Amino acid sequence: MDPLHQFHIQPIVGLTLAGVDVSFSTSAFAMAVVTGLIIFIMLFGVRQRAMVPGRPQSLAEILYEFIAKTVRDNAGSEARPFVPLVFTIFTFILFGNLIGLIPGFFTFTSHIIVTFALAIMVFIIVTVLGLVKHGLHFFALFMPPGTPVWLAPLIVPIEIVSYFIRPISLSVRLFANMMAGHTMMKVFAGFSVMMVTGLGDVTGGLVGIAPMGINVVLTGFEIVVACMQAYVFMILTCIYIHDALHLH
């Protein structure tokens, strides 16, 4: 079976609006499930607001405090109003990465259009924030403090290119890691099936243990990667917010 078939978006409910295909697809369904799951976990966790929290409330509080602390440590105390934004981005990516590991679910973070939409949203918010807070002085971001004036013709273009390439690097990193990991898992799973069907149930089953064992290890590795990629996206978002607030 084609290992890339798992990334094909399939329409669930076909719908065309003004000649544009706006069908409710497997990708949209996975996003809806993730959004509903996040809302349920947070609402269920904080519904009692007990002084001695139970497990659901502890989970919700630990998750929120972890993200809030990450924002404070990497973007400063002034970035506190952006905690909800970072929380939403982190949980959406994290749950999207993890739910894709469940057989039958679609990994929407393996599509560049999804990751780029998230990255360009962060880029626009950060840029507007910097312009609103600093005005034209925001462009001092492209001239690091202490840089000799005679180096400006070299440094400024490099800084500008580096700034505008942020959404590309941010989106490609997440998309590439998720797509590569899922493709590798599919390949090794295919090896096991091929060995069983090609060598017989007994012999093929024994020989197929090796690629299946590798797939088990890859699944554990993919869980780590899923968490790390969501964390990296969050950290970089915090750093970009810090740059917009403090200009280096």
pLDDT in tens, 125-171: 999 999 999 888 888 888 877 778 888 888 888 889 999 999 999 99
Q: Is the pLDDT of residue 91 over 90?
A: yes
pTM over 0.85: yes
**Rounded CA separation 214/78 (Å):** 46
Phi, psi of 64 (to 5 degrees): -65, -45
3-class secondary-structure state, position 4: coil
- Residues near 162 by beta carbon (within 8 Å), at least 6 away in sequence: none
State how far the alpha carbon of 237 is from the alpha carbons of 13, 51, 106, in Å.
Answer: 34, 32, 25
What is residue 125's predicted lDDT score, i.e. its pLDDT? 95
**Rounded CA separation 168/162 (Å):** 10
Domain range annotation of the chain: 5-246
Instruction: Provide the terminal-to-terminal Cα distance of the chain, rounded to the nearest Å.
Output: 50
CB atoms within 10 A of CB 169: 12
Q: Is the pLDDT of residue 182 over 80?
A: no
Averaged over 94-122, what is the pLDDT?
A: 90
What is residue 69's predicted lDDT score, i.e. its pLDDT? 93
**Rounded CA separation 166/152 (Å):** 21
